Amino acid sequence: MKANCPICDTSLKLSADLIESEVFECVDCHRKIVVKSIGKKIELEEAPGVEEDWGE
Amino acid sequence: MGKNKKNICLLHNTIRGDEKLLIEAAKKFAVNLDVVDVTDLILRTKGQFKFDVILDRCLSSTKGIHAGLFFEGIGIPFVNTVKVAQICEDKFATSMKLTEYKVPTVSFAMVFNVDQAKIAIEEMGGYPIVIKPTVGSWGRLVNKINDLDALEAILEHKDTFAGPIHKSFYLQKYIEKPGRDIRVHNINGQVIAAIYRKSDHWITNTARGAQPLPCRIDQDLENIAKLTGKAIGAGILGIDVFETKDGYLVNEVNHKLEFKNVQRVTSIDVASKIIKYCLTCAL
C-alpha cells in the first residue's frame, strides 16, 4: 500500500496490516499520522496532539 | 456475528501497538471482536448494541468513562468498570482507596492554596516534594519541587493560568528510587507480570524513555499487588510500585494498561489474558 504523508507529502510505503485509527510516524518528517480510512483510497491525517486526559 | 460466539467490542479512539496485540490475541479465542472508534458512536438509550462485553481501550479517559456510564447503564459489562476507572483516573481517589485498605503507599496531601501546601510539606518531612495533576498520565506536569521558591512559583502559575482541576494541589512525598520503579499487572486479582522501568531521570514512565526490563515477582510484591487489587476492585490494573529500604510502596494504579513493553520483555501473553478476562465478564 502506498500513500503520501499529509504533512510533508513524502511517498510512504504502508504496512499491509495497517488498520483504521492506527497511528504511525512518517519516515521523513517524523510527525504522527493517523489512518482515517482504508478503502479504495487510503486517507491519512495528522494525528491529534496529546490531550490532558490521555493515557493509562 | 457468529452463532454462540461472544461479541467483544474493543472500544478505542486510537489504535496503538497494544490494541493490535489485543486484536491478534482475540483470534485465538472463539469470539467476534468488533473494533469500534468511540468517536463514531452516538450514545443514546435507543441505540441497538449487540455486544456481550466492552473492552475499554479509549486513550481518552473522559470518553472512556462516559462510554462506560452508557454501556453499564444499558446492561452491557464494561471492562474496566466505571467504578474502577474513576478510582484510578483520579490520583487522589486512588490514594484514598489505598489508605482505606491499608496498602503501603506514598505519603500524600491535597491542598488548595500555598499556605496549606507549606504546612503539609513540613508535616510530610520537607522538600523535595512532588506535585501532580490528579488526572493525567505519562508523567505529564509531574513536577519535583525542591524548595519554597519553586513551590510558590508553580502554585502561582497553576492558580493564574490553569483550569480548575489544576487548582487542587495533589502533593506526594518524593521517594528516592534506585534508578527504577516497578510496573505490576494484576488481572482479576491474579498478579501476572512485572517489569522494571529503568531511567536516569527521577520520572520513570516508559512514555518518557524509561527502559523496560523483566522483574521477578517476589512474595512481597505479589502481596502488595493483590492487596491493591482488593482496594481498587476487580479488573485489569497496572500498579506502579517503588522499592524503598522499608519495603514496597504503591505509587499509582492505572486502569488502561499499556502492556506491549511488558509482553515484549517478559514473553507473557498479556493480551490473551485480557481477552480471557473479558470473556469471564461477558453476558
Give the β-pairing of A11-13 and B236-244. unpaired
Q: Quick one: cell of B86?
A: 474513576
Q: Which of B37, B59, B133 sits opposite A54 (nearest CB)?
A: B59
B207 touches chain A (CB under 8 A): yes
Return the beta strands (E) in B188-271 as ranges: 190-198, 211-214, 236-244, 247-254
Are B268 and B186 in contact, with CB atoms under 8 Å apart?
A: no
In angstroms, the CA B232 to CA B237 distance is 9
Tens of pLDDT, residues B230-272: 999 999 999 999 999 999 999 999 999 999 999 999 999 999 9
In a domain, B128, yes or no: yes
C-alpha span between B69 and B82 (Å, rounded): 7
> Does pLDDT of B30 surpass 80?
yes
* Residue whose entry in the numeric block shows the C-alpha cell 444499558: B74
The verdict on a CB contact (< 8 Å) between A54 and B60 is yes
Work out the pLDDT band at A53, boundaries 50, 70, 90.
Answer: confident
Cβ of A22 within 8 Å of Cβ of B15? The answer is: yes
**Does residue B283 belong to any structural domain of this protein?**
no
Which residues of chain B neighbour A51 with C-beta distances below 8 Å?
60
Q: What does the pLDDT read at residue A49?
A: 87
Is B79:B55 a contact under the CB 8 Å cutoff?
A: yes
Percent of chain A with pLDDT over 90: 68
Cβ–Cβ under 8 Å, residues B175 and B105 = no
Confidence of residue B3 (pLDDT cuts 50, 70, 90): low
User: Does A15 or B242 have the greater pLDDT score?
Assistant: B242
Mean pLDDT of the residues in chain B: 95
Q: What is the ipTM of this complex?
A: 0.82
C-alpha distances in angstroms, B28 versus A22, B31, B150, B167, B271? 22, 8, 53, 47, 11
**For chain B, what percent of residues have pLDDT higher than 70?**
99
Residue B61 and residue B26 share a domain: yes
Sign of torsion over alpha carbons A49, B132, B209, B221:
negative
Report the pLDDT averaged over residues A26-34: 95
Please, which residues 137-166 of chain B have a Cβ atom closer than 8 Å to chain A? 137-138, 140
Flag whether B275 is in a domain. no
* CA nearest neighbour of B19 among B276, B275, B283, B223: B275
Residues B96 and B207 in one domain: yes
Same domain, B94 and B205: yes
B5 touches chain A (CB under 8 A): no
Distance (Å) from the C-alpha of residue B123 to the closest C-alpha of chain A? 30
Which grid coordinates are listed for B48? 441497538
Chain A residues within 8 angstroms (CB to CB) of chain B:
17, 19-23, 34, 47, 50-56
CA distance B141 to chain A (A): 10
Which among B141, B173, B205 is the end of a domain?
Answer: B173
Q: Helices (DSSP H) in chain B: which residue ranges?
A: 17-26, 61-73, 82-89, 91-100, 114-123, 148-161, 219-232, 260-266, 270-281
- Write out pLDDT tens, residues B129-157: 999 999 988 888 999 999 999 999 999 99
Domain boundaries, chain A: 2-46
Q: How far apart are CA B82 and CA B70, in angstroms?
A: 10
Is the same domain home to B117 and B157?
yes
The answer to the question of residue B13 being in a domain is yes
Q: What's the CATH number where B248 sits?
A: 3.30.470.20
Question: Which domain, by its residues, includes B194?
Answer: 87-104+176-255
**CATH entry 3.40.50 includes domain A2-46:** no
Strand partners, B35: B10
Before B128, cis peptide (omega within 30)? yes
Q: What is the mean pLDDT of residues B23-51?
A: 93
pLDDT tens track for B183-217: 999 999 999 999 999 999 999 888 888 999 999 99
Nearest by Cα to B225 from B267, B217, B270 = B217
